[in-house]
Structure 1
Amino acid sequence: MTTTLSARAVLLDMDGTLVDSTAVVERLWLEWAALHGLERDTVLTTVHGRQGWQSMAILLPERDHEINREENQRMLARESAETAGVVAIPGAAELLTALQGMPHAIVTSADVALMTARMGAAQLPITELAITAERVSRSKPDPEGFLLAASALGIDPADCVVFEDSGAGIKAGIDAGMTVIGVGPHAPSFSPAHHVDDLTRISIVPAGDGFEIRIS
């Protein structure tokens, strides 16, 4: 059975949606967790989808915010340098190719350096418009990044479809007033409008002044 959605823009998360960086993300964050005596499961249910400084603030609420910012910069530098094992999510390259010439953007909690490193490691092209950590004041689950992307593209949020894998990202897309397609095994628990295991089930077909997204 095929589900068809009408859209005028697609907004794509990166980690867990276009690239699989789970191994390196979890390894570095668990090293950080051990230094602070934090439980593994608590850390792993917090860090996905958020900017690192916000995850640190949630996990260490009494710690000075500036320490979180400084430590997050060191974490980002390590993540940008350590890309072994980062690969494309199945169907990601084909989806990005299909979206060429259509309004779309990456909306990621990564900074420019990390986005560039991971998309390069996965051999995926970077979109012309990318909303990275430097461009927002509030991290997912706040909808700021998605709303900024819609505004930059000149598309009403209601006409945007978001691809996201994490709880924070799915909430951000929903709160932005957009239709969210959850990607990956954990996405259904965060109640996206639709779900796919990976991007091989997605096809894009031009239609009217926008396009159709078909979920097979």
Structure 2
Amino acid sequence: MNHALAQPRVLTTAIFDVDGVLLASPHERAWREALEGLADPARLTSKMYQAHVAGKPRMAGARAALEALGVTDAVRQAVLYAERKQRILEQLIHSGNVVAFPDALRFVQALADLGWRMAVASSSKNANGMMKTIHLASGQSLLDIFSVNVCGRDLPHGKPDPAIFLLAASELKTDPACSFVAEDATAGIEAARSGGMTALGVARVGDAAPLLAAGADLVVGNLDEIAIDRLACGWLCRRAI
């Protein structure tokens, strides 16, 4: 957890993944419940979800989960699995099962107060709808605080390809090297590094080791651990205890 930035860079912009970084969304629960009839839902543990599904586009995640679980004919079954997961997810969202992480709200507000330009970048087509349900003290929705939104865009490749983060950097009108990406999934960390960006791992489920192994420049358990005063100078590091 004390991994230091190998090549410190002055940063000016931030790019955030949504599920697991900003929101405790019901994605994982939906993927698990949708397994009924295909495999034992209990086998899709949080560890397996983070390793094989988190951060990937819907179909890629469905196929990866079924292959990891050894489901016969995973490629064909993935279509049914992804469709079922989407129906369950929509029901959970409409039932109010979306919660923002308080540390994430404090962090993005602190960056906004510093005048940072921020983007939100998730492969999920549900991300925008979920963020709109979260309201800030200012009266804005969580989605409104970001100057750039590339969530749910149809791109040729999903994470770990860096396309979504490079698109975010382009729309922020910044050099990718001047951005950090906050991610909770190894695929997202790999994508950030491939795009030449600083990768901030958010290990909310005690998974610091795989995030570091994927190339994260810094890993924290929650975003309150980041030194806001250093970010004011463009440096991403842990705050002094």
Same fold (TM over 0.5): yes
Pick aligned residue for 2:186 from 167, 174, 180: 167
Deviation of 1:65 after TM superposition, in Å, equals 7.2
Structure 1 window deviating more from structure 2 (12-21 vs 143-152): it is 12-21
Structure 1 window deviating more from structure 2 (88-97 vs 138-147): it is 88-97
Is 1:206 aligned to 2:232, yes or no? yes
Instruction: Report the Cα distance in structure 2 between the residues aligned to 1:120 and 1:5, rounded to whole angstroms.
Output: 35
**Structure richer in strand, relative to its length:** 1
Cα 1:144–1:130 change in 2 (3 A) is same
Contact preservation (8 Å) 1:136, 1:145: yes
Letter in 2 for 1:88: A
Structure with greater contact order relative to length (CA < 8 Å, sep ≥ 6)? 1
Q: What's 1:196 paired with?
A: 220
Q: What CA deviation, in whole Å up to 9, does each residue of 1:31-68 have, x standing for no partner?
A: 11222125424862422222222111222543177656
Pairs aligned (count): 209
List structure 1 segments (4+ residues) > 6 angstroms apart after TM superposition: 1-4
Instruction: Report the Cα distance in structure 1 between the residues aligned to 2:44 and 2:108, rounded to whole angstroms.
Output: 34
Contact preservation (8 Å) 1:83, 1:117: no
Cα 1:118–1:152 change in 2 (3 A) is closer
Q: Kindly, what percent of the aligned residue pairs are identical?
A: 27
Cα 1:148–1:72 change in 2 (3 A) is farther
Q: What's 1:155 paired with?
A: 174
Letter in 2 for 1:186: D
TM-score, normalised relative to structure 1 = 0.81
Q: What's 1:54 paired with?
A: 60
Q: CA RMSD in A?
A: 2.9
Q: What's 2:32 paired with?
A: 30
Q: What's 2:22 paired with?
A: 18
Pick aligned residue for 1:116 from 98, 105, 129: 129
Q: What CA deviation, in whole Å up to 9, does each residue of 1:136-165 have, x standing for no partner?
A: 332222211101001111111111111111
Cα 1:17–1:5 change in 2 (3 A) is farther
Q: What's 1:104 paired with?
A: 118
Cα 1:168–1:99 change in 2 (3 A) is same
Q: What CA deviation, in whole Å up to 9, does each residue of 1:71-121 have, x standing for no partner?
A: 56435533532432x33224212221222232210111221x443324524
Is 1:89 aligned to 2:110, yes or no? no
